[in-house]
Amino acid sequence: MSDTNSEKIVHGMMAEFTTVDTLLSACRRIRDAGYTKTDAYTPFPVHGIDKALGIKPTILPWICFFAGLTGTCIALTMEIWMNGVDYKYIISGKPFISLPAFIPVAFELTILLASFGAFFGMWALNGLPRFSNPMFTDPRFDRATDDRFFLYIDAKDERYDAAGVRSLLTDTGSDYVSEVLEDNTPKEIPRPIFVIWGVAVAASVIPLLCVLLMRVTNSSQPRFHIFMDMDFSPAKDAQQVTSLFADNRAMRPDVPGTVARGQLIGSLDVMTGIDVDSLQAMNAPQAQRLVAAFMQDDQAAIADEVTDVAKAEDDKETPSVMDTTPWVTENPMTVDSELMARGQQQFGIYCSVCHGMDGKGNGLVNQRAQEKGFDTWVPPSNMHQDTLYSDKYPDGKLFSTISNGIRKMPGYAGQIKVEDRWAIVAYVRALQKSQNATMDLIPEGRKEEVKSAVDAAQKELQRQADEAAKAAAAREQK
């Protein structure tokens, strides 16, 4: 038998046993004889066979442990990066990095990677996936899944010596000892496999073709919606109508008494421009109505309380509410260059269209209205009149006017933030001061600089005026 197979590669030697006990004692014999590249094949798990074969404890638990730990770290890093650094988003009012919310994902990823570690680690340690095994060449090995037990010694083992191994295995009580030879069945992939593979590839193209077909053909049928509520979200958009609420508004107003996050800027003084303590002393019911209006977040009521401007302006006999109200006289914000820059920017956006960049009341809207001669047009105020200076028109009153409007001017409370309205107040004060400023106000160090700038500006203005005059004269001559 060995002669006919002499050209084939020998993988090792296997022995067949009929009982677990003979297998186990054989395992112990070859273990004690010093063989290490061994394996046993049984139809069912046999307790203690790892010890009998002298198999070293597996490192799989460590792989599993560190894979799990990796999962924890990846999950926590990902979550902290995503919600704490890269895309900060307030969820349910929690801190950006809030561990309790991160635990479930960290837990899941720990389990997932630990399972992967255990499963694929087992594959790697066992050399899987492996589609064939030289043991299969022996037809007797089929019974390894039924009622026979096999022991295998690999030829790569240092102590392997065909004759010695054969006698050792025969000695352990095996009836059948045989060399495990190279599998000599053909190695080409069988033809039917190609057919099946070809059919599978062809079949997998069919759905793609269907998609393509549907993309290029027209159909009179309505579109098929797989996810109805994703295509037609039941959520309402802003300004939409709903029958769910008595007021038919889909957009819900704030719950009375609540203040939206970031909306509580400071005291009522800051929010209204009114010195509420003084108002309380002067006119307690009105102060209480004002506070109540704020508690209810009722914009209309606030406007009613703060101004009765239209009435008051026409009726000069009785003192206007605007005059009797104790206004805040000092800008509650810290007035610095930053606030001033902000005020200039906001003024440029919201105010200058009517009041002009210089605040003289001749913005583009006013110019256009004058040109068209609208008879309902009330020209915007020129801010450079002494009735609007801070001694007659306190900062709080100016703030209130910006917030609630006056005459044709609408209130800007909805568009401009409280801090920005105060910034505009500060900027308007600076604008007013700019018209009456003297050189004495300039700090000593910067006088020269300002003087030369003013001179240059005056020269430029002069030049422009001269040019305009020349051009006019030239037109005249023509």
> Which residues bind to another protein, rule: CB under 8 A?
20-21, 24, 45, 47-48, 51-52, 61, 65, 92-94, 100-101, 103-104
Considering the complex, state which of residue 60 and residue 450 has its C-beta at the smaller distance from another protein. Answer: 60
For 406, the 3-state DSSP assignment is strand
Identify whether the C-beta of residue 332 lies closer than 8 Å to the C-beta of residue 266: yes
Considering the complex, state which of residue 93 and residue 190 has its C-beta at the smaller distance from another protein. Answer: 93
Q: Tokens for 340, please give them.
A: 């001033």
Considering the complex, state which of residue 67 and residue 398 has its C-beta at the smaller distance from another protein. Answer: 67
Residues whose CB falls within 8 Å of the CB of residue 323, separated by 6 or more in sequence, listed in order? 312
Considering the complex, state which of residue 51 and residue 88 has its C-beta at the smaller distance from another protein. Answer: 51
CA–CA gap between residue 468 and residue 113 (Å, rounded): 80
Q: Shortest Cβ distance from residue 100 to another protein (Å)?
A: 5
Considering the complex, state which of residue 115 and residue 390 has its C-beta at the smaller distance from another protein. Answer: 115
Residue in the structure block whose two tokens are 């709903």: 242
Identify whether the C-beta of residue 411 lies closer than 8 Å to the C-beta of residue 417: no
Considering the complex, state which of residue 100 and residue 445 has its C-beta at the smaller distance from another protein. Answer: 100
Q: What is the DSSP string of 367-403?
A: HHHHHHT-TTPPPPPPS-SGGGSTTTS-HHHHHHHHH
* Amino acid found at 165: V
Q: Shortest Cβ distance from residue 30 to another protein (Å)?
A: 16
Q: With CA atoms as reference, report the closest residue to 135 among 154, 163, 122, 158.
A: 154
Beta strand extents in 28-113 (DSSP E only): 38-41
Neighbours of 201 (CB within 10 A): 9
Q: Shortest Cβ distance from residue 51 to another protein (Å)?
A: 5
Q: Shortest Cβ distance from residue 61 to another protein (Å)?
A: 7
Identify whether the C-beta of residue 140 lies closer than 8 Å to the C-beta of residue 148: yes
Cα angle 383, 389, 392 (rounded to 5 degrees) comes to: 130
Considering the complex, state which of residue 51 and residue 156 has its C-beta at the smaller distance from another protein. Answer: 51
Identify whether the C-beta of residue 14 lies closer than 8 Å to the C-beta of residue 148: no
Q: Shortest Cβ distance from residue 50 to another protein (Å)?
A: 9
Considering the complex, state which of residue 32 and residue 440 has its C-beta at the smaller distance from another protein. Answer: 32
User: What is the separation of C-alpha 330 from the centre of its chain, rounded to a whole number of angstroms?
Assistant: 41
* Amino acid found at 381: S
Q: Shortest Cβ distance from residue 93 to another protein (Å)?
A: 7
